[in-house]
Structure 1
Amino acid sequence: MADNKRSDVGELRTLLRRPDVQRDPRKYLQAVQKVIACMTLGIDVSKLFSEMIMAVATPNLVQKKLVYLYLSNYAQTNSEVALLTVNTMQKDCQDRNPVVRGLALRSMCSLRLPSLLEYLREPLQTGLGDRSAYVRKTAVMGIIKVFYIAPHFITELNLVDILYQMLRDKDPQVVSNCISVLDEILAREGGIILNSKIAHYLMNRLRDFSEWGQCQVLDLLTRYSPNSNEEVYDILNVLDDRLRHANLGVVLGAVRLFLHLTEHMPHLHKDVHDRIKVPLLTCLGSHSPELVYTCLQHVQLLLAKETSSFFDSYQTFYCRYTTHCNGPRDKLLFLSEENTGIYHTSI
C-alpha cells in the first residue's frame, strides 16, 4: 500500500512537470485537482510542494483556490520553501478582483508561520481598510489566526483599537466578525467592553444583521448595564419586535436580554413575563421536537420566578395527538394550578 502511494505521488510529480501539461491550462488544472483529491484521501503529497508553488501563478480562480488550499495544509512542514509563495500572495493581495484579494489574504494568514509575519503586516492592514466587505471580513478573521501565532503582533499594529473602530463598519457581517475576534482576543479581560455609544449603535442596527449575527449581538448586550430606568425602557421598546422574529434563537436571545435588563426592577417582572409569554407559546407550536424542548426548558426557568405566568394557557402544554412517542421515556409537560411549576409525567 505504501509503495502504491509513493508511486502515485511520483506520477503526479511527473504529470505536473510535463511541458505539454503546463502549456495547456485545462490539463494543468486537472493535474492540480488530482493532487488535491489525493490530499483529501489522506495521501501525503507534501513532496509536491515545489511543483504546486509553480501552479499558484495563474489567472484561473479555481486553480488558485486549490493551490492555496494545498499550501495552507503543508506550509508548516515546508516552512523554508513556503517563503517562495510570499511574492505571489502579496501580488494577489493587490489584485483588482476582491475575491482574489480576499483569498490571498486568507491563505497568507492560514500559513501560520512566524517567519512570514513581517510580510503579512502590510497586506493585513490594507485588507482591514479595503473597499470590499469580503476582503475586510476576511482580514478581520485573519487577525485571530495571527493572534495565536504571535500575540505581540496584535499589540504592535494596534489591531484591537482598529477592531473597535470597525464595529461601526457599514457591512453587518464585518461587524459580526469583529465582535467574535475581539471577544476571543480579550477573553482574559472579560471580552468586549461595551459603553453606551457602542451598545445603542448595535441595537439600532440589529435588524441589518443576519439571524446568527442578531443572536451574537443580543448575547453581547447582556453585558451592558443601562445608566437609568428610562434607558431600560428605551431599550425594551427598541428590541420589542425581536420577540416576534421567525428565528427561535433570536427570540430566546431577546427574552434573555429582557430578563437581564429588568432583573433589579421587580415592579416590571409581571409586565415583562406577559410580554415574552406569547412568543414562547408560539414557539411551542413548532413541528420540531428540539425547538419545543428548548422552549419548555425556558418556560420551566421562568416559572421558578413567576409561578402564575402560564396558568391561563395550560392547554398549550397538553400532549398533542399528532406527537410521535418513541418509548416509555417520553415525557408530558403540563401546568397544575394546585402545584406551581412544571411537572414530568411518563406517557
Structure 2
Amino acid sequence: MPPLDKRIKKFIKDSIRVAPRISEKGELGELRTGLVSQYPQTRKDAIKKTIQQMTLGKDVSSLFPDVVKNIATNDVEQKKLVYLYVMNYAETHPELCILVVNTFVTDAQDPNPLIRCMAIRTMCMIRVDKILEYIEIPLRRTLQDDNPYVRKTAVICIAKLFQLNKELCVEIGVLDDLIAALDDSNPMVVANATAALTEISVMDPDAVLLLDLISSHVNQYLLALNECTEWARITILTALTEYQAKDSIEAQQIIDRVTAHLQHVNPAVVLSTIKVIIRNLELTQPQSSNSVIMKKMTSALVSLMSTPPELQYIALKNIRIILEKYPELLSKELRIFYVKFNDPLYVKLEKIEIMVRLVDPANTKQCQLLLSELKEYTMEFEPEFVSRSIQALSQLGIKYSHETFVSKVLDILIDFQERQESYKDECCSAMCDLLRHCSTNDEMITSVCAILNAWSDPDSMLQRDDAKCNYIWLLGQYPIKFPSLTEKISIFVDNFVHEEPLTQTSILMTIVRLHSQLPGSILQNILELATNQTNEIDVRDLAMMYWRCLSMPNVEGLVKQLCSMNLPQIASTLDKLSPDVLEKLLRELSTISSITLKPQVDNKNKYAQHQRVIRGKHLDELKDIAKNELAYNMNDEVLLDFDDNDNDDNYSSNNSNPIQNSSALDDLDDLFNFGNNTNSNADGSAIEQGIYDLDIHKKDNHDQETSSNTQELLDLF
C-alpha cells in the first residue's frame, strides 16, 4: 500500500474540478465545452447534464459528435449514458447513429459481459437498414456467448431485428438459433426466447410455429419455473396457457407442477398460475383432488385482497371473470369483499359487483347479511357508490327470488326514496325491476304505484333515460293505479321530440297499448311525431308498423293481442358474458382484456409501429447525410440558450469560425475510421433539394388522388 501522503496527493489530483469556461453561446455551449474537457470526471458530469436536458425534451442532437467521443472508455456508467443518448436519437436521427457502428462492433467483443449486452442491445435499437450489415456477426457471437446474461439479451434482440427486417432474419437463420435457445440450460434464456418467439408470432404467424414449439418444450418449461424470476415465470406460464394437454393425466401433472406458484408474493404470478389451472381443470377427471385445487385457488384469490388498492382493482376484475365460470368458488368468502371506509371509489364499485355475484341464493343467512350491508352503503355520501348500492339491492332481491325477501328489499327502497330526493332515477328503475320479477304480487304493485303516483312532476324529477322508460312502462302496465293517467302521459308526449330513444319507444308502446283509454288526438299526435319528428330509425319503424296495424280493417284481434302482451319475468339483472367471450377472457386473465372485459382482436399488425428507417441508400451516402446534419446543427441556433439578447451575436460568431467545426468532423473521422471523405455544401443542398422535390411530387400525387376519389363519389349520385 502506498504511503499516506501519496494517497492524499492522488485523491486531491482526482478530485480537482476545472470549471469549464462559460461560453457566450449559453447552456449548450457549456455542455459542449464540458464534453471535450481533459478531465474525465468533468466529461462524465457533462454527459449526465446532457442526458438530463434530453430527458426534459430539449434537442441536444447537435452535441452528438462530442458525446460519442466519450464512448471509448472503461467506465461502464459513462458508456451506458452514451449508449442511452445514442438510443434516444436513433428514432429521430437514424443517419447520425451510423457513425458509431464500429464502436458497437468492438464493444460486442469486450471482456465485460455488461458492455457486450449494451452494445448488442443498442445496435438493435437503431432503426437503420445499413446497420444490419454489421449486426449479424455480433448477434451470432452473443447468441453463443458463455455468459447467460448476454445470451438472454441476444434472444430478445432477434425479435427487435425481426421487426426491422424479417426477410434478413430468415435469410441469415437467426430464427433457428432462437428456437435452439429454448433448450438452453439457463431458465432466463428460455423465458426470453419464449417471449421473443411470441412477439415474432404476433408480427408474422407464419414465421414460427409457436404452438408446436410450446408443445415440444412443455417439460423444459415446467422444470424452469422454479428457477426463474417473476417476469420469467409469467412468460412461461402464459406460454403454458396456450398449450392443450393431450389427456387428463398430463393436465393433472401440469396442474400439480404449477399449483405451488399460487402462494407467490407477486399477484401477476398468482393470476397467471390460475389461468393455467383453469385451462387444464376441465380436462381432468372429476375427483377429490379438484376440490383441493379449488380451495388453493380460493386462498390465492383471497390473498390478493390484501394488496394495495390498484392491485385490488385488477384482482377484482379478474375475479369477476372467474366467478362467471365457477360461481361457487368464493361463496364462503363474502366478508372478505366488504367495503372498507378507506377504499377508493373504483374498488368499492367492484366489490359490490363481486358480492352480488358470489352470494349463494340457497344461503338465507348470507343473503340477509348482504342485504344489511347494502342498506348501510346507501347511507354513504358518494353519489355513484350509493347509486350502485341501490342497483345491487334490486339485483340481490331478484337473485334470491323469494317474495318475502323481495318485499324487504322493496321496503328499503321505498323508505330510501322518501328520505333522498336526488336518487329518484335509481329507485324508480330498481322498483320496476322488482315488479317485473314479482308481477303477481298485488301488494307490491299497489305500494310502488302509490309512491310514483304521488310524484307531481315526474318528467323533471327523472333525468335518466332508463328511469323514464320504466316509469312510462309502469303507467301502461297498471293504468288503473294512476287516476290522472292522461295528464301524466301528455307531459311526456309534449316533450317527445327531446326525449332519448328508450323513452320514445316506451311512450309509443304505452300510448298504443292504452289507445282505447286515451283521447284519439294523443294517439294521432304521437304517431305523427314518431314518423316525422324523430331521427331514430327503430322508433320510426315501430310507429309505422303500429300505424299500419291500426289502419287495416278487421284487425281488432291483432291490435288487442299487441296491447295485451306483457313483458317476460326478469330472471336476473346481472350482466352475463357469452360462452365464447368467457372462454377467451379466461385465457387472457391478468391482461388488459380482463380489465375491459373485451377479448383481444386478432390483428397481425397490432404491434406494427411507424419505423423511421432510411431505405435504399448506400453507406457512403448515409455518412454524408450524417455529416451534413452535424455541420448544420453546429451552425444552427442554440436551442438551449436562454439569453435572448445574445442570440444574434452567438449565431454570427459561430458562423465565423468554420475551422473549429471542420476540426470536430475531422476528429470524428479519425475516431470512427471513416477516412477523409467529406461532402460539399453543394452535395448537401442537392440532397435537400431532392428531398424537397420528392415531397412536392408526393403532395401533388396525393392531391390528384383526392380529387379523383371525390369525383368518383360524386359520380355515384
Shorter chain as normaliser: what TM range?
0.7 to 0.9
Letter in 1 for 2:342: H
**2:302 aligned partner, one-letter code:** L
Deviation at 1:116, TM superposition (A): 1.1
Match of 2:338 among 319, 322, 340: 319
Asked whether 1:249 is paired with 2:268, we answer: yes
Structure 1 residue aligned with 2:157: 142
Task: Please report how far the alpha carbon of residue 291 of structure 1 lies from its aligned counterpart in structure 2 after TM superposition.
Answer: 4.0
One of 293, 309, 314 as aligned partner of 1:289: 309
Give how far 1:181 is off: 1.2
Deviation, structure 1 residue 101: 1.4
Contact 1:215–1:249 (Cα < 8 Å) also in 2:
yes
Structure 1 letter corresponding to 2:271: L
SS in 2 for 1:304: helix
What is the TM-score when the length of structure 2 is the normalising length?
0.43
Aligned mates of 2:52, 2:164 — CA distance in 1: 29
Q: How is 1:183-262 mapped onto 2 (pairs within 5 angstroms)? A: 183-187=198-202, 188-189=204-205, 192-193=210-211, 194-262=213-281
Mean CA deviation greater in 325-334 or 153-162: 325-334
In 1, the alpha carbon distance for the partners of 2:318 and 2:126 equals 44
2:129 to 90, 108, 114: 114
**Measured at CA, do residues 83 and 226 of structure 1 come closer, stay the same or move farther in structure 2, by a change above 3 Å?**
same
**Which SS does the other structure have where 1:143 is aligned?**
helix
Contact 2:94 2:127 in 1 (8 A): no
| 1:280 Cα deviation from its structure 2 partner | 2.3
Quick check: 2:249–2:284 contact (8 Å CA) kept in 1? no
RMSD between aligned residues: 3.2
Q: Provide the residue aligned with 1:273 in structure 2.
A: 294
Greater RCO (CA < 8 Å, at least 6 residues apart): 2
How does 1:60-209 map onto structure 2 within 5 Å?
Answer: 60-75=75-90, 79-187=94-202, 188-189=204-205, 192-193=210-211, 194-209=213-228
| 2: CA distance, partners of 1:104 / 1:294 | 37
Counterpart AA for 1:224: Y
**Secondary structure, in 3 states, of the residue corresponding to 1:281?**
helix
Residues in 2 aligned to 1:38 and 1:296: alpha-carbon distance in whole angstroms = 41
Q: Tell me if 1:336 matches 2:359.
A: yes
1:131 is paired with a residue of what secondary structure?
coil
Q: Percent identity?
A: 32
SS of 1:267's equivalent?
coil
Report deviation, 1:57.
1.8
Map Cα deviations across residues 78-111 of structure 1 (whole Å, 9 max, x no partner).
5555333222221111111111211222222222
1:299-322 superposed Cα distances (whole Å, 9 cap, x missing partner): 4444434444444x24544627x6
CA distance in 2: counterparts of 1:148 and 1:30, whole angstroms: 36
More moved, 335-344 vs 250-259? 335-344
Q: Distance in 2 between matches of 1:236 and 1:99?
A: 38
Cα separation, partners in 2 of 1:291 and 1:148, compared to 1, 3 Å? closer
What is the CA–CA distance in structure 1 between the aligned matches of 2:80 and 2:113, rounded to whole Å? 14
CA contact (8 A) 1:13 1:48 kept: yes
Aligned to 2:217, the other structure's residue is in SS state helix
Is the CA contact (8 Å cut-off) linking 1:49 and 1:78 kept in structure 2?
A: no
Seen in structure 2, the aligned counterparts of structure 1 residues 308 and 109 have a Cα distance that, compared at 3 Å, is closer
- How high is the TM-score relative to the length of structure 1? 0.83
| Cα distance in 1, alignment partners of residues 296 and 282 from structure 2 | 15
State yes or no: 1:30 paired with 2:49: no
Moved more, 57-66 or 190-199: 190-199
Q: Is the 8 A contact 1:112 1:145 kept in 2?
A: no
SS at the partner of 1:55?
A: helix
C-alpha distance in 1 between matches for 2:264 and 2:135: 42
The AA in structure 2 aligned to 1:26 is Q
Shift of 1:131: 1.3
Query: 1:310-337, CA deviations, whole angstroms, 9 ceiling, x for partnerless residues?
Result: 44x24544627x6525569655426533
Secondary structure in 2 matching 1:337: coil
Following superposition, the deviation at residue 122 of structure 1 comes to 0.4
1:259 Cα offset (Å): 1.4
**Residue 196 of structure 1: CA displacement?**
3.9
Change (3 A) 1:11 1:240: closer
Q: 1:287 to 1:97 in 2, by over 3 A?
A: closer
Structure 1 gaps, min length 5: none
Aligned letter for 1:209?
C
Shift of 1:125: 0.8
| Deviation for aligned residue 1:164 | 1.6
Asked if the contact 1:140/1:174 (under 8 Å) is kept, the reply is yes
1:293 & 1:41 partners in 2: Cα distance? 33
Secondary structure of residue in 2 paired with 1:64: helix
For residues 218 and 65 of structure 1, the distance between their equivalents in structure 2, rounded to whole angstroms, comes to: 33
Distance in 1 of aligned mates of 2:313 and 2:362: 21
Alignment pair present for 1:59 and 2:74:
yes
**What is the CA-CA distance between 1:172 and the residue it aligns to?**
2.5
Q: Cα deviation per residue 1:24-75 (whole Å; 9 max; x = unaligned)?
A: 2222223333332332233222122222232222222222222222222234
The residue identity in structure 1 corresponding to 2:252 is Y
Structure 1 residues 282, 37: CA separation in 2 closer, same or farther (over 3 Å shift)?
closer
1:65 & 1:309 partners in 2: Cα distance?
50
Question: Aligned equivalents of 1:326 and 1:82: distance in 2?
Answer: 48
Q: Give the superposition deviation at 1:288.
A: 2.9
Distance in 1 separating the partners of 2:330 and 2:220:
35
Would the alpha carbon gap of residues 79 and 232 (structure 1) be closer, same or farther in structure 2, given more than 3 Å must change? closer
Aligned residue identity for 1:132: N
